[in-house]
Amino acid sequence: MRFETHQLAQHYPLLFEGLRITLTICALSLAFGIVIGLVACFGKLRERGIAYRIAVIYIDFFRTIPEVVLIFWVYSCLPLMLSLRISAEASGVIALTLFASAYLAEIFRAGILAVPRGQIEAALALGVPSLHIWIRVILQPAIRRMMPALVSFLTELIKATSLLSAIGVAEMAYQASVLGSKTFAYVEFLSAIGVLYFIIIFPLSIYARRAERRLVSRTAN
């Protein structure tokens, strides 16, 4: 079997359009997921009350549902429940936002809880304003601690966008499948998107591993 590079040369604009849609959906889902994840995180940090219970239910629920089930539910059921028309792209963003926010809430919570309690108590004893304590004493070191997990999750989110091909979102996997069915060059197009995913995800994985090693080294010292 011959690898037909001319098929890639002829249809590469569609693959790059799929890449653009993949990255756009990933960026939107991550941005919305961060906002909702922070709300859920602070709710769970309260450790009691209605906000805590809602946050626990939300996080546990969306962390246990398979991503593909969530995608199909949002795409097929949510429009019926709300009597609205929701595009496949919007459905994908909503589903991945719910998925991302639940995981990000736990990443944020772990990062905040990893900040030594003594630092916070010392700042309170010195009369440092609450806003400065949150920004300087809690959030800055917490962000450093959560970066390896955050980047690692980002790689999972990028890979999860490929599931959106099942509902017709024209991201990379969908474009490769459609082009393969038209030209029978499945090997070429699927290999091409595999390389594109590798180019995007591998540097992030390397960064996450190095950041984790630096964090462990800094903690040990």
Q: What is the pLDDT of residues 84-126, one digit of tens each?
A: 899 999 999 999 999 999 999 999 999 988 887 777 777 777 7
Expressed as residue numbers, the domain containing 140 is 23-220
Q: Supply the pLDDT for residue 1.
A: 58
> Residue 32 pLDDT more than 90?
yes
CA 32 to CA 173: how far, in whole Å? 23
- Identify which has the larger pLDDT, 218 or 145: 145
CA 155 to CA 199: how far, in whole Å? 11
> Residue 137 pLDDT more than 80?
no
Is 11 among the domain residues? no
pTM of the entire structure? 0.90
Is 17 among the domain residues? no
Is 113 among the domain residues? yes
Is 13 among the domain residues? no
- Site of tokens 């080294």: 217
Query: Residue 128: which pLDDT band, with cuts at 50, 70 and 90?
Result: confident
Question: For residue 82, how many C-alpha atoms fall within 13 Å in the half-sphere facing its CB?
Answer: 11
**115: domain CATH number?**
1.10.3720.10
Helix pair 88-113, 140-160: axis angle to 10 deg: 150
Query: Residue 135: which pLDDT band, with cuts at 50, 70 and 90?
Result: confident
- Identify which has the larger pLDDT, 127 or 178: 178
Query: Residue 61: which pLDDT band, with cuts at 50, 70 and 90?
Result: very high
Is 5 among the domain residues? no
Cβ 52 vs Cβ 113: under 8 Å: no
b/e string for 85-124 if b means 16 or more Cβ within 10 A? Answer: eeebbbbbbbbbbbbbbbbbbbbbbebbeebeeeeeeebe
Average confidence score pLDDT of the chain: 90
Query: Residue 221: which pLDDT band, with cuts at 50, 70 and 90?
Result: low
Our count of domains for the chain comes to 1
| DSSP state letter for 168 | T
- Identify which has the larger pLDDT, 120 or 179: 179
Q: Supply the pLDDT for residue 178.
A: 93
Among 193, 204, 207, 212, which residue's Cα sits nearest to residue 114? 212
Is 79 among the domain residues? yes
Is 2 among the domain residues? no
Q: Supply the pLDDT for residue 126.
A: 72
Is 187 among the domain residues? yes
CA 182 to CA 152: how far, in whole Å? 35
| Alpha-helical regions (H) of 114-171 | 117-125, 130-132, 140-160
- Rounded to an integer, the average pLDDT of 59-68 is 95
- Identify which has the larger pLDDT, 145 or 129: 145
Start-to-end CA distance of the chain, whole Å, equals 56
Q: Supply the pLDDT for residue 73.
A: 96
Q: Supply the pLDDT for residue 130.
A: 73
Q: Supply the pLDDT for residue 114.
A: 83
